[in-house]
Structure 1
């Protein structure tokens, strides 16, 4: 039996904000560390060690999620400021995003199939490179597990945000536009938020790629939805 105030939405909300703020401080010392990874791990560890049920934390987490909607819409501001560069190379940008979406779906499906993954696991993992709300709905429509899809999507975003830039640097990929499009396509909102903290231009390009990847992946999923929904 937990204390009543643990079930107050302000508990989960405050815990998330405090640990994320601590993660921001820690990321200045360890540049590879994403604040979301720090805060997520901290919340899980605290709940396990104290025995506080996730159901008590969830109302506060849902309250915080509610405010993510306006925050996501706010990505349109830097995109508007840097949109001319995208318009100048729109065909190449859309081609890169489409290629990234196809590569993500095909490589994930083939890898899990080769490892003996179940049909449900494969369908849950295929949309891992789009934002969580889209991934969850696509997994549900094709017969995957929404909870698994949401988890894999977050892990993909964290991995992309923490390792993506180093990989691009290793491949000698330079420039705000290529970096932003690559991270946004592969690591959705989590990668975009990290880029925005350092470069408004990269963050705006990443936000565009994140949105377009959601649309492209949704279109690519139409045959899967039809096939598995018969």
Structure 2
């Protein structure tokens, strides 16, 4: 019995176990979403739930899981750069809609940040929490850096970014369908602006053009957040 336990522990703590767990969870989540197309079956949410459940069941610390997944982590950079491929393929379309894109970016970014400050003021949110929430629509690295520089909590900012992305990817397509927004460029811009990387992944499921505009919106929103948000906070202060 002890030998079986030792063998089981050796398997679950092997680096390839974490890699396999991540890949299998992602494939299962993608398959489930393709079959059901339900809001609560969003691939990122399902995969995250499966991974967390297995880690808790096997008593694998998160630090160990993260360290064992270095093989997948190093591909995050090339994967992000690969988003330039759909952008290049849709470059003529982007040039055609350049003015609406920039207008949507400025208005959408301003409204997203303004709502955080307004709701925070109405509910009496502390300055630290407000600065943590403000960059929630940017990607995690940018949001964490901006939040920390503004006096927020970087680790908590990453949590809010994650929640924003998941909820945006879940509710975004439903809301866009509800308001009869079927244009791929418009849907991609909306998902990229509000739900960053998770929204972009969702947009890529809908089509190449939608994914291209989501990737562009995510990138531009990150730049706008990093540059304009600190200036806006300084002016408001």
TM-score by length of 2: 0.88
State the Cα distance separating 1:71 from its structure 2 match.
0.7
State the Cα distance separating 1:62 from its structure 2 match.
4.4
* Equivalence for 1:45: 53
**Residues 53-202 of structure 1: pairs in structure 2 closer than 5 A:** 53-202=61-210
* Equivalence for 2:22: 16
Aligned residues: 229
Using the alignment, how far apart are the partners of 1:202 and 1:139 within structure 2? 29
Q: Which of the two has higher C-alpha Rg?
A: 2
Secondary structure at the residue paired with 2:137?
A: coil
What RMSD in Å do the two structures reach over aligned CA positions? 2.3
* Equivalence for 1:27: 33
Using the alignment, how far apart are the partners of 2:121 and 2:229 within structure 1? 18
State the Cα distance separating 1:37 from its structure 2 match.
0.5
- Structure 1 unpaired stretches of 5+: none
Using the alignment, how far apart are the partners of 1:5 and 1:143 within structure 2? 43
Secondary structure at the residue paired with 1:49?
A: helix
State the Cα distance separating 1:210 from its structure 2 match.
0.7
The 1:202–1:50 alpha-carbon spacing in structure 2 relative to 1, beyond 3 Å, is same
Deviations along 1:144-166, one digit per CA (max 9) or x if unpaired, are: 11111111111111111111011
The 1:97–1:62 alpha-carbon spacing in structure 2 relative to 1, beyond 3 Å, is farther
Q: Does the aligned pair in 1 maintain the 2:192–2:214 contact within 8 Å?
A: yes
Q: Does the aligned pair in 1 maintain the 2:146–2:230 contact within 8 Å?
A: no
Q: Does the aligned pair in 2 maintain the 1:180–1:195 contact within 8 Å?
A: yes
Q: Does the aligned pair in 2 maintain the 1:6–1:56 contact within 8 Å?
A: no
State the Cα distance separating 1:7 from its structure 2 match.
4.5
The 1:3–1:78 alpha-carbon spacing in structure 2 relative to 1, beyond 3 Å, is same
The 1:105–1:51 alpha-carbon spacing in structure 2 relative to 1, beyond 3 Å, is same
Secondary structure at the residue paired with 1:221?
A: helix
State the Cα distance separating 1:213 from its structure 2 match.
0.7
Using the alignment, how far apart are the partners of 2:13 and 2:149 within structure 1? 33
Using the alignment, how far apart are the partners of 2:17 and 2:131 within structure 1? 35
Using the alignment, how far apart are the partners of 1:12 and 1:118 within structure 2? 38
- Structure 2 unpaired stretches of 5+: 1-5
